[in-house]
Amino acid sequence: MEIKDVCYTVGILLTFVIGFLNYLVSLKNRRNFLRELIYKEQLNVLGKINSEFHILNTFLIKSLKARKRISYNEVEMKILEIDNLLYSNTHLLPTKLFVIWKEILVVLDEFSDCFDSSESKQLRECYDKFAEKYYSIIKLIVKDFGVDKLYLENKSILMND
């Protein structure tokens, strides 16, 4: 075997190894792209859900201040919108979010019963239960999706530039 044949063989083997490594890197990059795309979609859906929860919270605060000015039908419509938004995006959202949502539905059912009563103290207690669950959803989103960690990373990138 001549030196020329050895060089050809080594060249072919190196080309094969480099091609294989290139293939592995492209697979990893594709997975990273898909992961980032799903994460982006999750954050978009969570932004919509947070917005709807904020509107619901505003309705409940208005009803707390003046029960007769707002009809409970508006609150029920907003609840249905949130429910539809959650269940149409079940493939993107964590199960914990649905557990808390079911607890919120129970609290909102109590709130509708309190809404008809004349006791503002009872209505306030129902709202406080809702507010506790509402803020637990916000904490869940911040914790599970690493919002604080991303914020700190972005802050460090901006400070280094």
Asked whether residue 104 is assigned to any structural domain, the reply reads yes
Spatial separation of the C-alpha atoms in residues 73 and 128, rounded to whole Å: 20
Q: What is the pTM of this model?
A: 0.71
Asked whether the beta carbons of 79 and 72 are under 8 A apart, the reply is: no
Structural domain range at position 88: 40-160
Asked whether residue 156 is assigned to any structural domain, the reply reads yes
Asked whether the beta carbons of 133 and 109 are under 8 A apart, the reply is: no
Q: How far is CA 56 from CA 13, 73, 123, in A?
A: 64, 12, 15
Asked whether residue 1 is assigned to any structural domain, the reply reads no
Number of domains in the chain: 1
Output DSSP code: residue 70.
S
Asked whether residue 81 is assigned to any structural domain, the reply reads yes
Q: Check the CA dihedral 115-121-127-133 and report its sign.
A: negative
Asked whether residue 15 is assigned to any structural domain, the reply reads no
**Of 82, 84, 95, which Cα lies nearest the Cα of 144?**
95
Spatial separation of the C-alpha atoms in residues 84 and 118, rounded to whole Å: 31
Low-confidence ranges of the chain (pLDDT < 70): 67-70, 116-118, 161
Output DSSP code: residue 93.
S
Asked whether residue 69 is assigned to any structural domain, the reply reads yes
Asked whether residue 150 is assigned to any structural domain, the reply reads yes
pLDDT for residue 157: 83
Asked whether residue 152 is assigned to any structural domain, the reply reads yes
